[in-house]
A and B are shown apart, each in its own frame.
Chain A
Amino acid sequence: MALQRRTFLGVAAATAGTLAAPMVLAQGKPRVVVIGGGAGGATVARYIAKDSDGAIDVTLVEPTRAYYTCFFSNLYIGGFREMNALGHSYGGLAAGGVNVVHDWAVGVDRDAKTVTLAGGASLPYDRLILSPGIDFVDGSVPGWDLSAQNAMPHAYKAGSQTELLKAQLMAMPEGGVFAMVAPPNPYRCPPGPYERVSMVAHLLKSVNPTAKILIADPKEKFSKQGLFEEGWANHYDGMIERVGPDFGGANTSVDPAAMTVDIDGEVTKVDVCNVIPAMKAGRIADIAGVTDGNWAPVNAADMSSKIDPNIYVLGDASAQGDMPKSGFSANSQAKVCANAVRGALTGSTVFPARFANTCWSLIDTNDGVKVGATYEATDEKIAKVDGFISATGESADVRAATYRESEGWYDGITADMFG
């Protein structure tokens, strides 16, 4: 199977190489359509436009005019960031030569190589890049579906959901209970739910110090667990209770009307409930037919789909191997993909793939931690090469510097995404 696929891709690559020049002459500029304007999509659109210097026609399809980053949105809950500081416009991409279309992509015809938009337009492409982020798996938390997202917000796509969750926390009765239903692997931003618990605890400690936090978690272990648990003991002692699978955390259902959480038969009345369901690739990946199960499998060398070599899938939606689903990962994958797509369409030099990721989390004021790794492309997957993680017991100075670094990273990656 794997051998067949490689043979097929090899032929495809050779064909693209020999035909690139005549195709340009015959049909004008090669066309790239990118769906989704987040860390993967914005970056890949910007890099292809920038590096091809006008030789490739790049269209980005993104429904929202202002993009709110999911990364750092927990800091809004904790009171460390304003919501408007998380918002970014697409003006920089447009100025950089990207044709930005604010619409929903609703169809992909892989034979005709066109994308259909909700507004009715049809966009032809030579290469299609999907970076749609995540959607939720129906029924993963019994009792919850999208129609319950106002009663029990997921807040796992940043913006109004994040604001709703914070408003509910602020309105919580004194000594009330905040519950989180944590997601099963794999999901966007592995430390995200636990950074969120930290930020909720930080907020409640100042406005509602007798409040309690209950986590129902289907996972044995979680990202940066030692660091978070150390931080919770240091800053929020006695406030946070986590029920893992050994005590039935995987057997959780909710009742949004009654505002109850049922963990393995034990029903708790809660005041605010954050349900983070199981995740899958954003819907357009399904519509395009490039998913296998919940995610879209890709080749590690260039992020091309294992199902259609003219389609690439970036970021959270892709099944690529060892990289966590994060904005940093998507940004890293986007640059590898941009280089490969440019090479395929214009014959520019294609350099070997290399990937990296770092995730920073804030536990309390000036208490930042991080985890990161480098990756390489193998025949099977994106494989981890080397990594590091913050140590428990680090000095306050180191933690403060790590937090400052994360703020610098936010400025850096958003400049890299949006120009």
Chain B
Amino acid sequence: MIVRLLLALVLLAGTTAQAEQGGDAARGEELFNQCSGCHQVGQGAVDRIGPHLNFIFDRAAATADGYRYSASLKRAADGGLVWNYETLDAFLENPRAIASRTRMSFRGIDDQQDRDDLLAYLRKFSDDPQNIPESAPTAAAVDHTVAPEILAIVGDPAYGEYLSGECTSCHQTSGAGEGIPSITRWPADDFVTAMHAYKVGVRAHPVMQMMAGRLSDEEIAALAAYFEQVEE
């Protein structure tokens, strides 16, 4: 199946050496930086904001063990969506074209070569899984270090639900969104870390710096607790 689709692509795209391999995996690894805020791939990869991407090729959609998928992606899976070169390529080009209300807050990649390269990189972790390189896990959604005692605070989801009113003027509880990213069902640690990064100004967005700036540690924990378990 993959081979046939790749062949078809080669025929369409011409016959450069790179196209025959379906893309440049080394370049794809660099391009993966724009994914690694939410997705891990490679040895030790675990679900974060998005599911891990090991063995993604030929996997039925919405079936990574333990990851809580959006209702929208589950519906797509019920409709028979399987991740292969063609469907992943379409998903990367425009995530909303495949499933309109997922938490994949990503605009998509217009450039075919970029998508080819990225998929070539991802394929390394599906083709030959017992041979995953011994590299450090790719960067998680953690661009800031938060003290363990702050991460240890147990948030009150009821208070978080009230506070979430400040978030839902922009961020949709359903997890849908373009231009404004999804914040539902994030692992609490990632949520807390991101909010503290805004609070101290490590993350740059002025609205978020302002909103996070007046949230106490307990309030951030409450929001994280609420959004981690919110029903879509």
Contact = CB atoms under 8 A, between A and B. Distances in A.
Interface of A: 47, 51, 328, 331-332, 335-336, 339, 349, 351, 354, 356, 358, 370, 372-374, 385-388, 390, 404-409, 411-413, 415-416
Given A388-B207, A408-B179, A413 B214 contact: no
Given A411-B177, A415-B172, A386 B158 contact: no
Contacts of B127: none
Nearest to B162: A351
B162 A339 contact: yes
Contacts of A404: 107, 178-179
B180 A408 contact: yes
Interface of B: 107, 158-159, 161-163, 165-166, 168-174, 176-180, 206-207, 209-211, 213-214
Contacts of B178: 404, 407-408, 411
A412 B210 contact: no
A415 B174 contact: yes
B178 to A, nearest CB: 6
B179 A409 contact: yes
25 contacts: A332-B166, A335-B162, A335-B165, A351-B162, A356-B169, A358-B170, A372-B206, A372-B207, A374-B211, A385-B214, A386-B213, A386-B214, A388-B207, A388-B209, A405-B179, A405-B180, A405-B207, A406-B179, A408-B170, A408-B177, A408-B179, A411-B172, A411-B179, A412-B171, A416-B172
Nearest to B205: A405
A413 B170 contact: yes
A407 B179 contact: yes
| Pairs of residues from A and B, 9 with the lowest C-beta to C-beta distance, nearest first | A408-B179, A408-B180, A335-B165, A404-B179, A388-B206, A412-B170, A351-B162, A407-B179, A409-B170
B162 A409 contact: no
B200 to A, nearest CB: 15
Contacts of B179: 404-409, 411
Contacts of B209: 388
Contacts of A416: 168-169, 172-173
A13 to B, nearest CB: 18
B175 to A, nearest CB: 11
Given A404-B179, A412-B170, 4 more contacts: A409-B170, A411-B180, A412-B169, A412-B177
Contacts of B174: 415
Contacts, number: 89
Contacts of A387: 210
Contact of A409 (B180, B206, B210, B213): B180
A358 B158 contact: no
Q: Which of A349, A370, A408 has the most CB of B within 10 A?
A: A408
Contacts of A411: 172, 176-180
A388 B208 CA distance: 11
A205 B46 CA distance: 53
B210 A388 contact: yes
B169 A409 contact: yes
Given A388-B206, A411-B177, A356 B168 contact: no
Given A388-B206, A409-B169, A356 B177 contact: no
A370 to B, nearest CB: 7
A47 B177 CA distance: 21
A51 B162 CA distance: 10
Nearest to B159: A351
A413 B169 contact: yes
A406 B170 CA distance: 9
B134 to A, nearest CB: 37
Contacts of B213: 374, 386
B180 A412 contact: yes
A47 B165 contact: yes
Contacts of B170: 358, 408-409, 412-413
Nearest to A390: B206
Nearest to A368: B179
Q: Which of B161, B177, B206, B213 has the most CB of A within 10 A?
A: B206
Nearest to B206: A388
A48 to B, nearest CB: 12
Contacts of A372: 206-207, 210
A156 B109 CA distance: 39
Contacts of A374: 210-211, 213-214
Contacts of A388: 206-207, 209-210
Nearest to A375: B214
Contacts of A415: 168, 172-174, 176
Nearest to B177: A408
Contacts of A331: 169
Nearest to A405: B179
A234 B171 CA distance: 32
A374 B173 CA distance: 21
Contacts of A385: 214
Contacts of A358: 169-170, 207
A336 B206 CA distance: 23
A412 B177 CA distance: 7
B40 to A, nearest CB: 26
B199 to A, nearest CB: 12
A370 B207 contact: yes
A354 B166 contact: yes
A209 B93 CA distance: 37
B166 A412 contact: no
Contacts of B169: 328, 331-332, 356, 358, 409, 412-413, 416
